[in-house]
Amino acid sequence: MKFPFTIEKEVIHDLPVTWIFTKQFVTNSILITVNAGSLYESNEFLPDAKSGIFHFLEHQVFRLLSGKDAMELLNMYASNANALTAREKTCYYTHFVQHDIEILKILLQLVFEKKRFTKERVEKEKKIILNEMLMSMDDPLFATFESWNKLVYQHYPAWRSPIGTPESIRQITPEKLNQAFELFYHPKQSELVIMTDKEKSFWLPAFDTLLQMEIKPGFQPKILSIPHDPDTKSGKAFTKLTIDFPIPYFMAGWKPLHQEFTYRDGIIGEMISQILFGITAKFQDDLYAKSLVDDSFSLDWDWDRQFGCWYMSGFSYQPEKVIDAVEKEMRRRLKTGIRKNEFQIHKRYSLVNSTMEAYHPKEMVFQIQTLNRFGMDGWDEYYQLVQSITWEELNENLPRFMPESQFKASILLPESDSA
Amino acid sequence: MISNCKSDFCIPAPKDYPFSMAVFSFCINMNSDAYAVYLASKISNKSTKKYRKPYQLNRYFYQLAGLELDMEVVKWGDRLLLNVEFGLFHLNMAEKKRLKLYALAQDLLFEGQYEHGQFPQAFFEEEKANQQKEIEMLMSNPIEWHFQLFMEKMFPNDPFRYSLLGTKEQVRDCTNEEIGKIQKDFIQHSQRIPVLYGTFSEAETAYFQELANQGKGLSENPGIQVSRKPFVTYEEETTYQQTWVFLGYRHPIDQNHRLYPALHIYNQILGKLPASVLYTRLREKSGLCYSIGSSLPFGKEVLFIIAGIAYQDKDIFLEELEKALLSLSNFTKKQQYLKLAKNRILSNLQGWKDYPMARLNFELEIKIKKASYTYSSYIQAIEKVTWEDLEEISRCLWLDTLYICKGNHKAR
Report CB contact under 8 Å: A128, B133. Answer: no
Q: Which residue of A has its CA nearest to B242?
A: A134
Tally of domains in chain B: 2
Tally of helices (H runs) and strands (E runs) in chain B: 15, 12
Which helix (H) or strand (E) segment holds residue B66: the answer is none
Determine contact: B180 vs chain A, CB below 8 A.
no
Pair B246, B120 in one domain? no
Which helix (H) or strand (E) segment holds residue A281: the answer is none
Nearest Cα of chain A lies from the Cα of B68 at a distance, in angstroms, of 11
Dihedral class, residue A112 (left if φ above 0, else alpha if ψ from -120 to 50, else beta): alpha
Length of chain A: 419
Q: Which residue of B has its CA nearest to A60?
A: B284
Report CB contact under 8 Å: A131, B240. Answer: no
User: Taking CB atoms and an 8 Å cutoff, what residues of chain A touch B284?
Assistant: 69
Pair B204, B271 in one domain? no
Report CB contact under 8 Å: B275, A295. Answer: no
User: Is residue B221 assigned to a domain?
Assistant: no
Q: What is the DSSP string of A91-154?
A: EEEEEESS--HHHHHHHHHHHHS-----HHHHHHHHHHHHHHHHHHHTSHHHHHHHHHHHHHHT
Which helix (H) or strand (E) segment holds residue B62: the answer is helix B54-63
Q: Which of A330, A326, A288, A333 lies closest to A411, judged by CA?
A: A326
State which of A46-55, B165-174, B207-216, B220-229 shows the largest mean pLDDT: B165-174
- Per-residue pLDDT of A213-243, as tens digits, reads 878 777 887 756 667 776 656 678 888 888 8
Question: Which residues are B20's β-sheet partners?
Answer: B88
A:149-208 residues touching chain B, CB 8 A cutoff: 166
- Predicted confidence (pLDDT) at residue B229 exceeds the cutoff of 90: no
Q: Which of B41, B112, B100 lies closest to B65, judged by CA?
A: B100
Determine contact: B177 vs chain A, CB below 8 A.
no
Range with the lowest mean pLDDT among A135-139, B72-76, B165-169? A135-139
Rounded CA-CA distance A75/A100 in Å is: 12
Q: In b/e form, how buried is each residue of A258-274, taking b as 16+ CB within 10 angstroms? A: ebebebbbbbbbbbbbb
Report CB contact under 8 Å: B54, A288. Answer: yes
Q: Which residue of B has its CA nearest to A71?
A: B275
Pair B171, B314 in one domain? no
Rounded CA-CA distance A315/A249 in Å is: 4
Q: Which residue of B has its CA nearest to A79?
A: B344
- Predicted confidence (pLDDT) at residue A293 exceeds the cutoff of 70: yes
Determine contact: B230 vs chain A, CB below 8 A.
no
User: Taking CB atoms and an 8 Å cutoff, what residues of chain A touch B352?
Assistant: none
Q: What is the DSSP string of B124-177?
A: HHHHHHHHHHHHHHHHT-HHHHHHHHHHHHH-TT-GGG--TT--HHHHHH--HH
Domain A237-418 has CATH 3.40.50.720: no
Q: How high is the pLDDT of residue B91?
A: 61
> C-alpha angle B232/B235/B238, rounded to 5°?
155
- Per-residue pLDDT of B338-376, as tens digits, reads 998 999 999 999 998 898 889 999 999 888 888 889 999
Report CB contact under 8 Å: A97, B350. Answer: yes
Share of chain B above pLDDT 70, in %: 95
Mean per-residue pLDDT of chain A = 91
> Are B359 and B197 a contacting pair, CB within 8 Å?
yes
State which of A13-17, A216-220, B141-145, B408-412 shows the largest mean pLDDT: A13-17
Q: How high is the pLDDT of residue B140?
A: 82
Pair B280, B145 in one domain? no
At B282, is the pLDDT very low, low, confident or very high (cuts 50, 70, 90)? very high
Share of chain A above pLDDT 90, in %: 69
Nearest Cα of chain A lies from the Cα of B222 at a distance, in angstroms, of 36
Map residue B409 onto helix, strand or coil. coil
Q: How high is the pLDDT of residue A143?
A: 82
The interface predicted TM-score (ipTM) is 0.84
Rounded CA-CA distance A177/A118 in Å is: 10
Determine contact: A359 vs chain B, CB below 8 A.
yes
Q: Using the Cα atoms of residue A208, residue A212, residue A214 and residue A220 in order, give the sign of their dihedral.
A: positive
Report CB contact under 8 Å: B344, A75. Answer: yes
User: Taking CB atoms and an 8 Å cutoff, what residues of chain B touch A78?
Assistant: 340, 343-344, 346-347
User: Is residue B178 assigned to a domain?
Assistant: yes
Q: Which of B53, B133, B242 sits opposite A131 (nearest CB)?
A: B242
Q: Rounded to an integer, what is the distance from CA A174 to the centroid of its chain? A: 27
Determine contact: B242 vs chain A, CB below 8 A.
yes
Beta strands at A308-315 and A249-254: parallel, antiparallel or unpaired: antiparallel
**Mean pLDDT, to the nearest integer, of B287-312?**
92
At A29, is the pLDDT very low, low, confident or very high (cuts 50, 70, 90)? very high
Nearest Cα of chain B lies from the Cα of A248 at a distance, in angstroms, of 11
Report CB contact under 8 Å: A355, B290. Answer: no
Domain A6-212 has CATH 3.20.20.140: no
Rounded CA-CA distance A222/A226 in Å is: 11
Mean per-residue pLDDT of chain B = 89
User: Is residue B243 assigned to a domain?
Assistant: yes
Domain-by-domain residue ranges, chain A? 6-212, 237-418
Q: How high is the pLDDT of residue A419?
A: 42
- Predicted confidence (pLDDT) at residue A271 exceeds the cutoff of 70: yes
| DSSP symbol at B98 | H
CB pairs under 8 A between A and B: 154
| DSSP symbol at B333 | T
Report CB contact under 8 Å: B65, A352. Answer: yes
Q: Which residue of B has its CA nearest to A277?
A: B55
- Per-residue pLDDT of B367-401, as tens digits, reads 888 888 999 999 999 999 999 999 999 999 999 99
Q: How high is the pLDDT of residue A76?
A: 85
Dihedral class, residue A78 (left if φ above 0, else alpha if ψ from -120 to 50, else beta): left
Number of Cα atoms under 13 Å in the Cβ half of residue B296: 22
Nearest Cα of chain A lies from the Cα of B347 at a distance, in angstroms, of 6
Q: Which of A26, A75, A137 sits opposite B340 (nearest CB)?
A: A75
Pair B206, B339 in one domain? no
Rounded CA-CA distance B111/B120 in Å is: 11
Pair B143, B266 in one domain? no
Q: Which of B133, B274, B354 sits opposite A25 (nearest CB)?
A: B354
| DSSP symbol at B279 | I
User: Taking CB atoms and an 8 Å cutoff, what residues of chain B touch A275?
Assistant: none
Q: Which residue of A has its CA nearest to B52?
A: A285
Pair B111, B177 in one domain? yes
Determine contact: A247 vs chain B, CB below 8 A.
yes
Pair B23, B121 in one domain? yes
User: Is residue B359 assigned to a domain?
Assistant: yes
Burial-class residue A212 by CB neighbours within 10 Å (0-12, 13-18, 19+): exposed
- Predicted confidence (pLDDT) at residue A55 exceeds the cutoff of 70: yes
**Mean pLDDT, to the nearest integer, of A53-60?**
95
Report CB contact under 8 Å: A348, B54. Answer: no
Report CB contact under 8 Å: A69, B280. Answer: yes
- Per-residue pLDDT of A166-198, as tens digits, reads 999 999 999 999 999 999 999 999 999 999 999
Nearest Cα of chain B lies from the Cα of A350 at a distance, in angstroms, of 9
What CATH number is associated with residue B277? 3.30.830.10
| Domain A6-212 matches domain A237-418 at the CATH topology level | yes
Q: Which residue of A has its CA nearest to B15?
A: A24
Pair B156, B48 in one domain? yes
- Predicted confidence (pLDDT) at residue B218 exceeds the cutoff of 80: no
Pair B206, B244 in one domain? no
Nearest Cα of chain B lies from the Cα of A216 at a distance, in angstroms, of 30
Pair B313, B194 in one domain? no
Nearest Cα of chain B lies from the Cα of A131 at a distance, in angstroms, of 5
User: Taking CB atoms and an 8 Å cutoff, what residues of chain A touch B130?
Assistant: 294-295
Q: Which domain holds residue B177?
A: 2-213
User: Which of B213, B243, B271 is the endpoint of a domain?
Assistant: B213
B:278-317 residues touching chain A, CB 8 A cutoff: 280, 283-284, 287-291, 308-310
User: Taking CB atoms and an 8 Å cutoff, what residues of chain B touch A82?
Assistant: 274
User: Is residue B325 assigned to a domain?
Assistant: yes
**Mean pLDDT, to the nearest integer, of B54-73?**
89
Q: Which of B280, B310, B347 sits opposite A96 (nearest CB)?
A: B347
User: Is residue B411 assigned to a domain?
Assistant: no
Range with the lowest mean pLDDT among A116-120, A147-151, B396-400? A147-151
Q: How high is the pLDDT of residue B1?
A: 46
Report CB contact under 8 Å: B274, A345. Answer: no
> Are A110 and A141 a contacting pair, CB within 8 Å?
no
**Mean pLDDT, to the nearest integer, of B81-104?**
84
